[in-house]
């Protein structure tokens, strides 16, 4: 992935291509193309030209908004892809859903929605932007479907760069305009939705090149396939449908299965050393034990587990599944959700045993790596009738438990997250009291014994 770096003078510089594990936090632009000759290209950026083009206004807006949000890097499709390279173009299109998904912020720039006054006849008329928003060309384009669904944070802006609202605030309007299921807008994993449902989201959308009607759906279905411009719309959709059928028959590294929630944990402070250990464990091809992330609320258990899921996806795991382990009932509910993802044509009804058995049998067939996260395993005593270990499908994957209960340490290697380092404690406290000095924060953190929950509640 290649990014734009915002320089101190407000100009932009293309970075070198970086591997996935070395990409800094970035913002991403979603927009509709105008006259192609007025869009800033990769070559323009390399040569330091293009500032006189109309499309430069969108890039400048994205950079300025990213800076306000504390982000130095941004990605814009018109100028961050070397489209003269067929291999780079193919790689970019196949990766684009993930790029939007990983962005810290997605800014939707609506060039046909204005918030300013205009004069009609002899009267000043205050235009409301709501109707223009509903009629925006952005909602009719093929590529913007994934740009709406993939990112966690999507913010809409007018022609003037004025904020109109985000995906959560405008959820009702977005559903009415696009017919996309509200749950998908809220971040539910796309495999939870049927193939016909996902296809229907794109039926009213158009693309400039006919093959792109299919190629713009690759990320929606978790599919990777080579681009063949010139094959036509019919052939491109035939290959897409065949790839979807193949992916549904057997999980592969190219189509990971996933029900992991896309959410951020407030005031999370990275646990650097613990993350290094977990990264090494995830890269092991023969995991010999489970890992327990143990600590009180606010200690970073959930966010560490979410980061592990992200690493697993990027490392080619065939599946990453999130299980609510609060009780046997919630575990069964999670397994029922997973069964609909891995065996969409099989309905086991409300039979608990059949549901769990179906998931275990299917996962045992897989040759690739998988990750299960049992979150909130805080009440081991509720699993007396069926031990928590009995839910785990064999020895072929990685399993993480998050728990507050001390007895959970019997399950495997345990990371105690109850205490933080001085630096981690200072950063957590400064989230709540940003005007404090480091020395003052250090004294408070020391008095609280470097306990994450104590710092959080203080």
DSSP string covering 281-320: HHH-SS--SEEEEE--TTSSHHHHHHHHHHHHHHTT-SEE
DSSP three-state, residue 324:
strand
| CA-wise closest residue to 224 among 187, 255, 180, 193 | 255
Instruction: Check pLDDT > 70 for residue 452.
Output: no
* DSSP labels, 165-213: EETTTTHHHHHHHH---HHHHTT--GGGS-HHHHHHTTTT-B-SSTTHH
| pLDDT cut 70: percent of the chain above it | 81
* DSSP labels, 379-422: -GGGGSSS-GGGGS--SSSEEEEEES-GGGGGGEEEEE-SB--H
**What band does 273 get if pLDDT is binned at 50, 70 and 90?**
confident
Mean pLDDT of 269-297: 77
Pairing of strands 290-294, 319-324: unpaired
| CA-wise closest residue to 81 among 154, 6, 151, 17 | 17
* pLDDT for 349: 63
Structure tokens given for 284: 């092991």
Structure tokens given for 223: 């599919």
Write down the pTM of the prediction: 0.56
| pLDDT cut 90: percent of the chain above it | 49
Task: Taking the CA atoms of 415, 420, 422 and 426 in sequence, report the sign of the dihedral they define.
Answer: positive
CA distances in angstroms from 242 to 5, 169, 224, 246, 454, listed in the order given: 39, 37, 12, 6, 54
* pLDDT for 254: 39
Contact 201, 180 (CB under 8 A): yes
**What band does 248 get if pLDDT is binned at 50, 70 and 90?**
low
Q: Which residues on neighbouring strands pair with residue 120, listed in sequence order?
A: 123
* pLDDT for 319: 85
* pLDDT for 255: 46
Q: What is the mean pLDDT of the chain?
A: 84
Contact 410, 401 (CB under 8 A): no
* pLDDT for 456: 54
Mean pLDDT of 130-159: 96
Instruction: Check pLDDT > 60 for residue 297.
Output: yes
DSSP three-state, residue 338:
helix
Instruction: Check pLDDT > 50 for residue 3.
Output: yes
pLDDT tens string 180-228: 999 999 988 888 787 888 999 999 999 999 999 999 999 999 888 889 9
Instruction: Check pLDDT > 50 for residue 30.
Output: yes
**What band does 265 get if pLDDT is binned at 50, 70 and 90?**
very low
* pLDDT for 357: 85
**What band does 94 get if pLDDT is binned at 50, 70 and 90?**
very high
Instruction: Check pLDDT > 80 for residue 454.
Output: no
Structure tokens given for 202: 């794109």
* pLDDT for 39: 95
* pLDDT for 191: 80
Instruction: Check pLDDT > 80 for residue 124.
Output: no
Contact 32, 111 (CB under 8 A): yes
* pLDDT for 276: 84
pLDDT tens string 386-398: 999 999 887 668 9
CA distances in angstroms from 175 to 73, 128, 138, 182, listed in the order given: 30, 20, 14, 6
Instruction: Check pLDDT > 70 for residue 45.
Output: yes
Structure tokens given for 214: 């299919």
Task: Taking the CA atoms of 112, 118, 122 and 126 in sequence, report the sign of the dihedral they define.
Answer: positive
Mean pLDDT of 277-282: 85
Instruction: Check pLDDT > 50 for residue 119.
Output: no
* pLDDT for 246: 72
Mean pLDDT of 305-322: 84
* pLDDT for 122: 43
Instruction: Check pLDDT > 90 for residue 327.
Output: yes
Instruction: Check pLDDT > 60 for residue 159.
Output: yes
């Amino acid at each position: 992935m290649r990014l734009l770096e915002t320089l101190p003078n407000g100009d932009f510089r293309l970075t070198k291509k970086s591997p996935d594990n070395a990409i800094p936090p970035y913002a991403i632009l979603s927009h509709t193309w105008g006259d192609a000759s007025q869009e800033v290209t990769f070559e323009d950026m390399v040569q330091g030209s293009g500032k006189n083009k109309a499309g430069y206004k969108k890039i400048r807006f994205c950079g300025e908004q990213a800076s306000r949000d504390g982000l130095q890097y941004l990605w814009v499709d018109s100028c961050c892809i070397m489209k003269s390279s067929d291999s780079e173009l193919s790689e970019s299109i196949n990766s684009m859903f993930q790029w939007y998904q990983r962005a810290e912020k997605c800014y939707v720039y609506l060039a046909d929605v204005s918030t300013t006054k205009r004069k009609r006849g002899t009267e000043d008329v205050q235009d409301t932007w709501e109707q223009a928003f509903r009629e925006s060309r952005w909602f009719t384009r093929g590529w913007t479907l994934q740009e709406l669904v993939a990112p966690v944070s999507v913010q809409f802006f007018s022609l003037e760069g004025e904020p109109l609202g985000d995906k959560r605030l405008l959820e009702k309007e977005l559903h009415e305009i696009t017919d996309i299921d509200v749950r998908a807008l809220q971040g539910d994993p796309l495999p939870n939705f049927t193939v016909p449902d996902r296809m229907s989201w794109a039926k009213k959308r158009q693309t400039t090149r006919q093959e792109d009607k299919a190629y713009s759906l690759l990320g929606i279905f978790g599919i990777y396939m080579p681009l063949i411009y010139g094959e036509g719309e019919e052939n491109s959709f035939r290959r897409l449908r065949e790839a979807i059928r193949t992916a549904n028959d057997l999980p592969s590294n190219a189509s990971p299965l996933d029900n992991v929630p896309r959410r951020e944990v407030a005031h999370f402070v990275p646990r650097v050393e613990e993350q290094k250990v977990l990264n090494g464990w995830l890269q092991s091809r023969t995991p010999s034990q489970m890992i327990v992330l143990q600590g009180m609320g606010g200690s970073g258990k959930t966010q560490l587990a979410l980061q592990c899921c992200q690493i697993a996806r990027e490392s080619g795991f065939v599946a990453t599944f999130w299980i609510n382990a609060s009780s046997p009932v919630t575990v069964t509910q999670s397994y029922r959700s997973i069964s609909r993802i891995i065996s969409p044509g099989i309905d086991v009804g409300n039979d608990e045993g059949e549901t769990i058995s179906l998931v275990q049998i299917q996962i045992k067939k897989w040759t690739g790596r998988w990750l299960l996260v049992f979150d909130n395993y805080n009440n081991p005593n509720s699993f007396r009738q069926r031990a928590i270990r009995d839910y785990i499908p064999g020895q072929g994957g990685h399993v993480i438990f998050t728990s507050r209960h001390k007895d959970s340490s019997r399950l495997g290697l345990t990371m105690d997250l109850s205490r933080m380092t001085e630096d981690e404690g200072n950063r957590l406290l400064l989230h709540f009291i940003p005007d404090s000095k480091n020395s003052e924060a250090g004294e408070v953190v020391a008095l609280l014994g470097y306990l994450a929950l104590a710092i959080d509640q203080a």
